[in-house]
């Protein structure tokens, strides 16, 4: 596949610019997290490895999405959902790893993985099959939201929150709460983008167009994925002091 990283002038195309910057930022973050594994205790090494995988997978996908943006005028949907289907469950795995010492089980990890995968599969079906039909868009959007709400509830009030509290570790408690804020605020940009698609509530109700959705998705991806990793790194460093 011939990459078209410079086929569009980033200076004249803000979406192309965010694809390029997002790719470079996440690649740099991946290297940072991988290298910093050597500076933390063994109990945090796997968490930092997962953080490196999240940003590394995203960086590779951003190369391909940047190419798709330049070649087919913005049709990045399939590539973006492939990226999310790999990286979002890994972000949920971080909750398990952070609370494992407090008694988190693999059952909790798999419930979070399944919920996040459900959220993404339903969202992809809705985005690719609605074709401007509001009923279809809303139905799959609601089904997708079920998975999101489960992850959100688990992080804020459910098993993850209770395990963090039971850990008695103030650093872990603060870190889990920060990650929960990422899920509540940072992840909110994705359903907003979904509702801008033809047939979505914001598209039909307020006339919001999907033309700049990739711009917001790119910014949200970089903030959420790199931010998740930085929180995990902060927990590891602070806990080892």
pLDDT at 195: 72
pLDDT at 1: 41
SS (H, E, C) the chain: CCCCCCCCCCCCCHHHHHHHHHHHHHHHHHHHHHHHHHHCCHHHHHHHHHHHHHHHHHHHHHHHHHHHHHHHCCCCHHHHHHHHHHHHHHHHHHHHHHHHHHCCCHHHHHHHHHHHHHHHHHHHHHHHHCCCCHHHHHHHHHHHHHHHHHHHHHHHCCHHHHHHHHHCCHHHHHHHHHHHHHHHCHHHHHHHHHHHCCCCHHHHHHCCCHHHHHHHHHHHHHHHHHHHHHHHHHHHHHHHC
User: Which overall architecture, per CATH, does domain 14-240 show?
Assistant: Up-down Bundle (1.20)
Query: What ranges do the domains of the chain cover?
Result: 14-240
Residues 86-140: pLDDT tens digits? 999 999 999 999 999 889 999 999 999 999 999 999 999 988 887 777 788 889 9
Name the stretches of the chain with pLDDT < 70.
1-12, 72-75, 197-212, 240-241
């Amino acid at each position: 596949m011939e990459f078209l990283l410079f086929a569009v002038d980033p200076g004249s195309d803000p979406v192309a610019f965010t694809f390029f910057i997002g790719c470079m930022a996440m690649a740099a973050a991946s290297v940072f997290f991988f290298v910093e594994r050597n500076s933390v205790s063994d109990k945090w090494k796997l968490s930092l490895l997962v953080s490196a995988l999240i940003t590394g997978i995203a960086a590779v996908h951003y190369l391909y999405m940047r190419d798709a943006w330049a070649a087919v005028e913005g049709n990045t949907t399939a590539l973006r959902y492939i990226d999310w289907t790999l990286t979002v469950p890994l972000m949920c795995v971080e909750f398990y790893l952070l609370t494992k010492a407090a008694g988190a089980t693999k059952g909790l990890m798999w419930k979070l993985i399944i919920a996040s995968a459900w959220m993404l599969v339903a969202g992809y079906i809705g985005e690719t099959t609605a074709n401007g039909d509001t009923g279809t868009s809303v139905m799959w959007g609601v089904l997708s939201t079920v998975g999101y709400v489960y992850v959100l509830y688990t992080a804020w009030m459910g098993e993850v929150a209770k395990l963090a509290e039971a850990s008695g570790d103030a650093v872990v408690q603060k870190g889990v709460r920060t990650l929960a804020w990422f899920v509540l605020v940072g992840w909110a940009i994705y359903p907003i983008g979904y509702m801008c698609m033809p047939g979505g509530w914001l598209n039909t109700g307020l006339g919001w167009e999907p033309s700049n959705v990739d711009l917001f998705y790119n910014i949200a991806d970089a903030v959420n994925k790199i931010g998740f990793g930085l929180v995990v790194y902060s927990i590891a460093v602070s806990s080892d002091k």
